[in-house]
Amino acid sequence: MYTGKLIFSQVMEHLPLHVFHQCVARYQGDFKVQEFSCLDQYLCMAFAQLTYRESLRDIEACLRAQKNKLYHMGIRSSVSRNNLANANKVRDWHIYADLAHSLIPTARKLYVNDNFALELENTVYALDATTIDLCLSMFPWANFRKSKGAIKLHTLLDLRGNIPTFIHISDGKLHEVNTLDILPLEVGAFYVMDRGYLDFARLYAISQHSAFFVIRAKSNLKYRRVYSHQIDRSTGLICDQSVMLTGFYQGKDYPDKLRRVKYHDAKTDKTLVFLTNNFSLPAMTIAELYRNRWQVELFFKWIKQNLRIKTFYGTSENAVKAQIWIAVSVYLLVAIMKKRLKIEASLYTILQVLSVTIFERMPLLQALTKEEYTTNAESESKQLLLFS
């Protein structure tokens, strides 16, 4: 019989504890804390994410039912709703934001050689935002509309491995285009965006940083054609042009040439117009880059369905942000574990399996793969034989 570590402990082995303690010390998270440390809080909240707990009462009941296993999970304090509620309210959410940011480079290195739909050496990012609705009477700080509260999750997704590399949490009123002001820019990378991010001054700033963008144009775009490139109309391309903006403010904000690609999607029967500052890639590749932008939409759908970021355990701004960042860090930990252990199952399958085996004492790979594992307990036993 295997009597090793709990599945939960094996997952948490991928958490860099030295980095976690550095994040805690940076914001004095354990200052004057005698029990229920930041690590206890994180482990309890990670357990809630992995097992789909719905409330603090739910977390408390499940962990107290397995009280004899808490020490082996790494939890050194008693678990109660009051402890969790107070920790979520007062422990700085930046601790868990910094932890998630520290996991991002690790995950990206593991997924850097993953296959991408297009053969490009450049890094391709998809930028988008999703709105999480909140009750205004319970979350009065989450301003959105007169009678409705919400927060926005702005995410920059690396399309190799679907790893979120930049996340910004704002109130519902912040327009998506404003995130371009705080977006980290990488030389030579592609930033694929919907037309909600169309701001020529900000796009010109991306171009000045030697990065590329692909964005959908609006119907009222004023431009002058400079040159028309040859295309293959059988692929759905309608035109591939070099243009100059002729609108007064648009021309001032973006004084350089732009590339305008018009494409008809036969599957959806829609005609789309894209703008980019890259003139070297084939026009069809530009259209395919935008098509891959939908991976960020699928990412938002996935995390809303598989992580607890729609139902919150606390109503304060700090509690909400702490829960979201812990959810992101758990997503990254599972993604890192998947690559390190070379697990072929999808992240969805991994999370489903973990949710029902979290308290089991068995090799993690045995739970997540179809391979059979045997232990050498009989050969290692020192028990003498009664009969020879």
pLDDT confidence of residue 311: 81
pLDDT confidence of residue 201: 96
pLDDT band at 267 (very low <50, low <70, confident <90, very high): confident
pLDDT band at 381 (very low <50, low <70, confident <90, very high): very low
* Residue-averaged pLDDT of the chain: 89
Cα 189 to chain centroid, rounded? 19
DSSP 118: S
Sequence-separated contacts (24+) of 92-96 with Cβ below 8 Å: 92/27, 92/29, 92/318, 93/318, 93/321, 93/322, 93/325, 94/26, 94/27, 95/23, 95/24, 95/26, 95/27, 95/29, 95/38, 95/322, 96/23, 96/42, 96/322, 96/325, 96/326, 96/329
- pLDDT of 382 over the 70 cut: no
Q: Tens of pLDDT along 153-194?
A: 999 999 888 889 999 999 888 899 999 999 999 999 999 999
- pLDDT of 386 over the 80 cut: no
Contact in structure between 123 and 158 (CB atoms under 8 Å): yes
pLDDT band at 337 (very low <50, low <70, confident <90, very high): very high
Contact in structure between 117 and 288 (CB atoms under 8 Å): yes
Average pLDDT, integer, range 193-216: 95
What residue has token string 């690590």? 39
- As a whole number of angstroms, the distance between CA 158 and CA 112 comes to 10
Q: Where are the domains of the chain?
A: 7-94+314-373, 195-286
pLDDT confidence of residue 3: 66
Contact in structure between 160 and 124 (CB atoms under 8 Å): yes
- pLDDT of 376 over the 80 cut: no
- Judged by DSSP in three states, 256 sits in coil
Residue type, 128: D
- As a whole number of angstroms, the distance between CA 376 and CA 249 comes to 75
Residue type, 107: A
- pLDDT of 378 over the 60 cut: no
- As a whole number of angstroms, the distance between CA 227 and CA 237 comes to 16
pLDDT confidence of residue 377: 42
The pairing of beta strand 124-134 with beta strand 190-193 = parallel
- pLDDT of 379 over the 70 cut: no
Contact in structure between 376 and 16 (CB atoms under 8 Å): no
Average pLDDT, integer, range 24-30: 95
Average pLDDT, integer, range 373-377: 45
pLDDT confidence of residue 124: 92
- As a whole number of angstroms, the distance between CA 351 and CA 348 comes to 5
Contact in structure between 87 and 41 (CB atoms under 8 Å): yes
Percentage of the residues of the chain whose pLDDT score is greater than 70:
94
Q: Tens of pLDDT along 57-107?
A: 999 999 999 999 999 999 999 899 999 999 999 999 999 999 999 999 999
pLDDT band at 360 (very low <50, low <70, confident <90, very high): very high
